[in-house]
Amino acid sequence: MKAGQIILDLTFLTAGLPGLLHALDLRVNTLHVWNDYTEGADSGMQARLDGREPFLWTDEVPGRASGLQHGKILIGPLAGHGIRPVPNGLIHDWIGAVFIPHASIRSLLAVLHDYDRYKDVYKPAVAESKALACTEADQRFSMVWQHKVLFVSAAIEGQYSAREFIAGQTRGYNIGDTTEVREIQAYGESGEHLLAPGHGSGFIWRMHSIARYEERDGGVYLELEAIALTRDIPLSLRWLVSPVVNHLSIDSLTTSLRQTREAVESLEEEPGRFVSCAAPEEHSLHAGRAR
């Protein structure tokens, strides 16, 4: 999984919640608000590069780095309490951080760029994964996620465009987007078929991520801001559903960061197990993101 794509289980934030099982298509006005929101998030990354804010979220509060060094995985909301209502939808915005001792940026990227192995590293959420194109200028890959929440099973096929940038001798960051998200109906059954993009139950419509990593203190700090656009939750149910959705968000991000840490640590035991498909390039913040 790319450093900007550790948001696997966020795909099913609203799956299985009461009263949300009917079809709900993505609307144009919802997409416009989403585009504005993610552009604002990218501007925040530029502020970190310019030194107007700490490069790492970890360094914004004393004691965070120490907690990470002792094995903790820290998760926090960036949009209010983690959910921001928008017209006909919800934006989920969370950040997570982990410290990987004895690791280097090189070993981290070896794991994050080995897309074909995501199905092994991030199982059972990732059922299939494949690199589609991989150069220094553009990296594309696909994944199929499956998940069960309460009594509902769901599956999503997503295609991604992502890019890695070096921000100094010991720092780097990644910006990633879904270029296409399609719900799979009757997954694993004889009638399995893909729905058109933007159609279906609205479990997930878009994902955007910004990841940062810094090599210091005898290892690598890895952070991920995971942003997802999903269907709305009726106001009458929001008081009941929102805590459940936030709990799923925290658990999903924690699991993904833990799995990444374990995969990087495994390189010490099996050198060469992961193969990075491309090297990052030094560049400014990429403005031409796929929508």
Calpha distance 285→291 (Å, rounded): 16
pLDDT of residue 261: 96
* CA neighbor of 111 nearest in space, from 278, 275, 269: 275
As a whole number, the mean pLDDT across the chain is 80
Which of 11-20, 177-186, 249-258 shows the lowest mean pLDDT across its residues? Answer: 11-20
Domain range 9-282, its CATH number among 3.40.50.11810, 3.40.50.20, 3.30.530.20, 3.40.720.10: 3.30.530.20
Query: Using one digit for the tens of pLDDT, what is the confidence trace for 77-113?
Result: 987 778 888 998 889 899 999 999 999 999 998 898 8
pLDDT of residue 201: 67
- Contacts of 286 by beta carbon, 8 Å cutoff, 6+ apart: 163, 165, 175
Which tokens belong to 96? 């997570």
pLDDT of residue 18: 46
Residue 55 has pLDDT above 80, yes or no: yes
pLDDT of residue 184: 86
pLDDT of residue 130: 92
pLDDT of residue 7: 38
Residue 284 has pLDDT above 60, yes or no: no
Percent of the chain at pLDDT above 70?
74
pLDDT of residue 169: 85
More confident residue, 109 or 248: 109
Residue 151 has pLDDT above 80, yes or no: no
Tell me, letter by letter, the H, E, C secondary structure of the chain. Answer: CCCCCCCCHHHHCCCCCCCCCCCCCCCHHHHHHHHHHHHHHHHHHHHHHCCCCCCCHHHHCCCHHHHHHCCCCEEEECCCCCEEEECCEEEEEEEEEEEEECCCHHHHHHHHCCHHHHHHHCCCCEEEEEEEEECCCCEEEEEEEEEEECCEEEEEEEEEEEEEEECCCCEEEEEEEEEEEEEEECCCCCCCEECCCCCCCCCCCEEEEEEEEEEECCEEEEEEEEEEEECCCCHHHHHHHHHHHHHHHHHHHHHHHHHHHHHHHHCCCCCCCCCCCCCCEECCCCCCCCC
Residue 285 has pLDDT above 60, yes or no: no
pLDDT of residue 5: 36
Residue 182 has pLDDT above 60, yes or no: yes
pLDDT of residue 16: 45
Overall average pLDDT of the 189-201 stretch = 78
More confident residue, 52 or 23: 52
More confident residue, 207 or 238: 207
Instruction: Name the pTM for this structure.
Output: 0.83
